[in-house]
Amino acid sequence: MSLLLRIARLIDWINERVGRSVMWLVLIAVVISAGNALARKLFNMSSNALLEIQWYLFAAIFMLAAGYTFLRNEHVRIDILTSRLSPRGQNIVDVIGILLFMLPMAVLILWLSLPIVMTSIQSGEVSQNYGGLIRWPVKLLLPLGLSLLVLQAFSELIKRIAFLTGHGPNPLLRKSAGAGTEELVAAIKANSGKAEQEREQ
């Protein structure tokens, strides 16, 4: 189990680095989008390449950060039933979900995407729009993102089994990346409440 946990930590490290790098793509996409909008409004100029690069960046953010989102436990969950379960029950549900749904779906789409990507690379596929970009880089994001997601699914599976067998902490208790923001909002609300009470006195 210790070897598996070391592998899980390595996978977590990879997705953590990828996720933090992908965050910069959001800024780049915003800058390009704003610049393109200003050029269109002020100078009546537009570029299909700039429009398509926004789409490429959005695809990169969405696909490459999928594993990071899973690592941070920020993916969409329907906790109507599982929130009533014990930590052990919640982890058992996650193990079943990963094995029966997530991994088969991700591996199947990954496998089906490979011929599409290879065909695009071999044909040198280019956008049909005038001045558009080559297509294979954005199509390559699909197997890359799914590979990171599959790796993270294995990592999460290892951590949940480790918890269930008494070899590790509860992975569902890990703080998410948004936890700091939530704490900051709570602190601001608490301070504003104190300020209002002081004014009333």
Q: State the pLDDT at residue 177.
A: 47
Pair 57, 136: CB distance under 8 Å: no
Q: What's the gap between Cα 168 and its chain centre? A: 24
Provide the number of structural domains found in the chain.
1
Confidence grade of residue 154 (pLDDT, cut at 50, 70, 90): very high
| pLDDT, tens digit, 9 for 90 and up, residues 66-89 | 999 999 888 777 767 777 888 888
Pair 59, 138: CB distance under 8 Å: yes
Owner of token pair 């071999």: 122
Q: Which domain holds residue 146?
A: 2-200
Q: List alpha helices for the chain, DSSP H.
A: 2-43, 48-64, 66-71, 87-97, 103-123, 136-164, 179-200
Show the tokens assigned to 198.
């002081």
| pLDDT, tens digit, 9 for 90 and up, residues 106-146 | 999 999 999 999 998 998 888 887 777 888 889 999 999 99
- Taking residues 163-170, report their average pLDDT: 86
Write down the pTM of the prediction: 0.78
